Structure 1
């Protein structure tokens, strides 16, 4: 019986790699640079070499490896076909088949990176006590992953869990990066919160410590709000109202046991959770009230844990 497996979290700059036991113990982790030149043609070859090198280094035979899981930054179907990864330069091809060939036939399972991170939190992180959970990642953008009865819900085209593009404001004039208007990402991502703060400060001359900060980013907004700055608290309230609105929509569709909040913005901690939870329970359908809202616990390792779980 296989004793080990590999979980890979592929990004546009680096790929995080983890060697695991099949019980879920992280034996070692490291990173490999992502070579996006020539349409990313060398990415899988480089990763295969890194995995094989680690097996040789640890004296692990192919028979002892259950497989290699990989999270991909783009939509991917259940049969392993990736449908354009802009950050990698990839078009449409079967990443599982090609990567397995590079690995000498080892089993490969691939999934969308946000979905895979959600699976990681569900397996060994904040949602490990729940069979159904939704992870919301508040970073440069807003991503997500839906786990129902311990399975990833990927959707017909691999686009399920694109939480950041739920429309929460029909009066928004500025376009989201996706081309639509009023997406959750425009208000609750790190860039979105900074944008809300700049808009609020431009509306009038109200005194605010935000006018004095060196870098007006999401961290500064939460830091000043925690200190009691009125304008910063208004911005946090508005961002959390939008996030609660998005979660309320999701809860009516999939009714998870828990929402797990991760990404850079989640470093605001319990203050963020308390604000979102309060506003969620104000508007939630009665059957969905009191859904657990909690902070992610695996941090940047969620993706490698989830990728490992894919192959088990």
Structure 2
């Protein structure tokens, strides 16, 4: 008998990614569809079901060939009841009975969790986390998210808010965050946060700098522009990157001192700056951690890219393995 498989789904605001994965975490097939958020997102789940059934027919697979389906989703997730609410980028304002619909539509057991948590599970299982029981993932994208795995368990917290690394305070007198608080990591280390830091620092910078020139000209700049110019030794861009890495290193230091994971993994779009970013964050991390943590917790770069979500989501379904 052939070994059973699992399905991972990474539900995002623009695309839904799918993967058929072995129980060892190897991707066998993957595909994606556009996320149809029209009519209050009422088409999303039916189109997920349709896509799964279509692919299973295509690959001549049956529901019985699968242990389960796992999905990562934005919004507030009730894992117990398999529902989601408040995923505004999906237009899901009301409670969505996702598990009930998908199990009825596919005949396969289903479970789900928050998308940042699921990416952390992916990096921990098959990526930079090396399947260690203590791993933190920090995703640096349009926002700053994260997931914390401690002693083999994904932490959720009493209201499902564990791992909201983006809302760690790194500057009590800093920028206001969309959450209503001031000085959150997200305000200074997300893609938009990096640009915000550059604009703030440019007010007092008087030296020669291409980045400063572009800002003064009113040009649109991205976080990528800041890092590219820093790598070209633009003095002001280097100053901005140093400030962002200070905030990240401070947050990582606090996480390291509190949880002492084997690794804190940096992922998401901003982490594309690679070793240039990682080494600077590590320098500040070392400054803000005590010796035992400094020696045992590593700052790493994520390895799975876009596959972290589907692999992590698939791993949720391992709970159904008898």
TM-score scaled by length of structure 2: 0.92
CA–CA distance in structure 1, aligned partners of residues 136 and 76 of structure 2 = 18
Deviation at 1:238, TM superposition (A): 0.8
CA–CA distance in structure 2, aligned partners of residues 211 and 286 of structure 1 = 38
Kindly indicate whether residue 259 of structure 2 is the aligned counterpart of residue 237 of structure 1: no
Residues 205 and 236 in structure 2, CA contact (< 8 A), matched pair in contact too? no
Listed one character per residue, the Cα deviations across residues 239-297 of structure 1 (whole Å, up to 9, x for unaligned) are 11111111122223322110110011111111111000011111113332131111000
Deviation at 1:186, TM superposition (A): 0.7
Of 46-55 and 30-39, deviating more is: 30-39
CA–CA distance in structure 1, aligned partners of residues 125 and 131 of structure 2 = 9
Deviation at 1:5, TM superposition (A): 1.6
3-state SS in 1 of match to 2:21: strand
CA–CA distance in structure 1, aligned partners of residues 51 and 223 of structure 2 = 36
Task: Tell me what 1:218 maps to.
Answer: 223
Task: Tell me what 2:26 maps to.
Answer: 25
Indicate how the Cα distance of structure 1 residues 265 and 152 shifts in structure 2: closer, same or farther if over 3 A, else same. Answer: same
Kindly indicate whether residue 264 of structure 2 is the aligned counterpart of residue 262 of structure 1: no
Task: Tell me what 1:199 maps to.
Answer: 200
Residues 78 and 154 in structure 1, CA contact (< 8 A), matched pair in contact too? no
Where in structure 2 are the equivalents of 1:102-251 lying within 5 Å?
Answer: 102-104=105-107, 106-172=108-174, 174-213=175-214, 215-251=220-256
3-state SS in 1 of match to 2:77: coil
CA–CA distance in structure 2, aligned partners of residues 71 and 194 of structure 1 = 29
CA–CA distance in structure 1, aligned partners of residues 205 and 13 of structure 2 = 40
The equivalent position to 2:102 in structure 1, one of 94, 99, 103, is 99
CA–CA distance in structure 2, aligned partners of residues 169 and 40 of structure 1 = 37
CA–CA distance in structure 2, aligned partners of residues 24 and 171 of structure 1 = 44
Residues 48 and 103 in structure 1, CA contact (< 8 A), matched pair in contact too? yes
Task: Tell me what 1:34 maps to.
Answer: 35
Indicate how the Cα distance of structure 1 residues 77 and 289 shifts in structure 2: closer, same or farther if over 3 A, else same. Answer: farther
CA–CA distance in structure 2, aligned partners of residues 278 and 204 of structure 1 = 24
Listed one character per residue, the Cα deviations across residues 88-147 of structure 1 (whole Å, up to 9, x for unaligned) are 12223442233222223x110101000000000111111124221000000111010111
Count of residue pairs brought into register by the alignment:
310
CA–CA distance in structure 1, aligned partners of residues 144 and 185 of structure 2 = 7
CA–CA distance in structure 2, aligned partners of residues 199 and 212 of structure 1 = 14
CA–CA distance in structure 2, aligned partners of residues 204 and 235 of structure 1 = 11
Listed one character per residue, the Cα deviations across residues 168-218 of structure 1 (whole Å, up to 9, x for unaligned) are 11112x421222111000111111011111111122432112134564221
3-state SS in 2 of match to 1:114: helix
Kindly indicate whether residue 281 of structure 2 is the aligned counterpart of residue 280 of structure 1: no
Deviation at 1:77, TM superposition (A): 3.0
TM-score scaled by length of structure 1: 0.95
CA–CA distance in structure 1, aligned partners of residues 15 and 96 of structure 2 = 21
Task: Tell me what 1:305 maps to.
Answer: 311
**Unaligned 5+ runs, structure 1:** none
Of 112-121 and 74-83, deviating more is: 74-83
**Unaligned 5+ runs, structure 2:** none
CA–CA distance in structure 2, aligned partners of residues 35 and 305 of structure 1 = 23
